[in-house]
Structure 1
Amino acid sequence: MSELLSVRNLVKRYETPRGTVHAVDDVSFEIPVGHSVAVVGESGCGKSTLALSVLQLVAPTSGQVNFDGTDLIGASRSALTRLRREIGVVFQDPASSLNPRMRVGDIVGEPLRVHEKLRGRSLHDRVTKLFNDVGLTADAMDRYPHQFSGGQRQRISIARALALEPKLIVLDEPTSALDVSVQAQVLNLLQDLKARKNLSYLYISHSLATVEYLADILIVMYLGRVIEKGPADDIFRDPRHPYTRLLIDSAPSLDPLNRRLSRPPSGEIPSPSNRPAGCHFASRCSRATDLCRKDPQPDEIERASNHRVTCHHPIGT
């Protein structure tokens, strides 16, 4: 599989009066062409900072972000402008990410006016096609964002992200503000678009129910670090890190036939500016030993083909 995005040893730290916050700590992963990579974890694990660092909306402390053969870190402004045409973004709350003073047809068409200088009939036809691609009709183009439901607004956000025919779309909690039935509709749309347009996704979420449906590859983060990653089906079927097991057990399912018992993770997450000396999850882990509490997180262990875990005592051993 050819790689569209390659992230190597990415680090993002913030200095605060309380100490150094290790928001993203030595994270590496790849997104193959036409694949969905999901990053999951509880609030504060660093997944949104990771997405912003990939997009260069925050400056990483160190590491590499290689998109389609070009390292984004240190790239010139003109190079970033050119490359960002190939990366779309869909944010969590469509109500705040869509300009309330603009008609939605103008919102979707804005990238085409700015980057491709389209006007008149050519612009109208392209925007009409984008609306059709996300399941909306052309007569909606003259309305304002507040005149749509939450699910329809997110479809408009997706249409805008598609405007310049990107290769990668970064989805930051795109369904968290929607009810379950609408979530399923939006996820179905994303799956359909991925197949039809050979899109790649970087999908940020705390909801394993949506991740289970959408992801090809799963990355689990805890306090800035990747603690498990690999094929999503393998991890859902056979999680090896105790934290991943807890996340899966706590996640309701979008499938009404799957009566998964929800058991929320117990214990408090340590402060990202005062992380434990040993394994960061040890204080919440039933498998923790003195080794876990004293020694840092071990190197990745490959449990199966491309399924890696960082744990002193992985499940199944």
Structure 2
Amino acid sequence: MRDFTYARAESANRAVLDHARAPETSYLAGGTTLLDLVKLDVMRPNQLVDINRLPLKQIETLPDGRLRIGALVTNTELARHPLVRTRYAVLAEALLAGASTQLRNKATTAGNVMQRVRCSYFRDGLSACNKRNPGSGCAAIGGHNRSVHAVLGTSEDCIATHPSDMCVAMTAIGAQVTVQGPDGTRDIDFADFHLLPRDTPWKEHALRAHELITHVTLDAPLAGSRSGYLKLRDRASYQFALASSAVIVVLDGHRVREVRIALGGVGTKPWHARDAEVALRGQNASLEAFERAAGVAFQHARPYTRNAYKVPLGQQAIVRNLRDLTA
């Protein structure tokens, strides 16, 4: 067993100061990812800073129509909130599709944003993994890469998918992440928060040293929009997505006036399919148009030995979601 110190913060300022006191410090909220990886000896914090007493559990509408979510709002609370259910159906559906009820009751909004990959080579603590041990290689590229490995946004150093369902929905909606650190507060566009692996896969997010997520603010919903989340997996139970899609669409008669498409289970970060959106805007809402857009979404896909099926499966996740929303 590894020793670590424990601090309980009463304010965001105190949390940031406590975090800066020791190297390898982690913030502790729900702990559904952190404690799991500590038990596996993959994460080895010298100090845990408990932030559960911070006043970050509110959900509020801003004057400009955006929705501000405190970092400590649980996945269950967020999914069941009336404003989320009525204005952001895609987010409510994504949250309820993720994990089990027990985990949703513990997992927090900020913790979900900070989820780490489920690649078995990362989690076993032994295999070559650039994310865990920079420069050691990526065992997944030539290994078992069927389920939690990507075909979009990969590199020669990492092909693990980002596991969050919530983040896929937020990518489609549009959001900002508010963080507090030693130099004050700042906002990070949600699309820029998660980083592609490139040749530095151990750099997973845009946080600077000791910064703490305090809020996630969703863009105002598109007027007249319909939205939905479709998750495809081996079994309709507690499993991670093989492919998923978050779609928001606005119709003008039979034409697609506006559309947002994000993908999960296929990318190394929550994947915003911007090229597919461009291909679909102004088109008739037809199966043929949906299939063309889905093909565009995967035009730069790079499948590996066991996950080539994710290309047609991901395309189906787009087509079926669009078909159901525009029926």
Alignment TM class, shorter chain as reference: under 0.3
Query: Higher helix share goes to which structure?
Result: 1
- Structure whose CA Rg is larger: 1
Instruction: Normalising by structure 1, report the TM-score.
Output: 0.22
Higher relative contact order (CA 8 A, sep 6+): 1
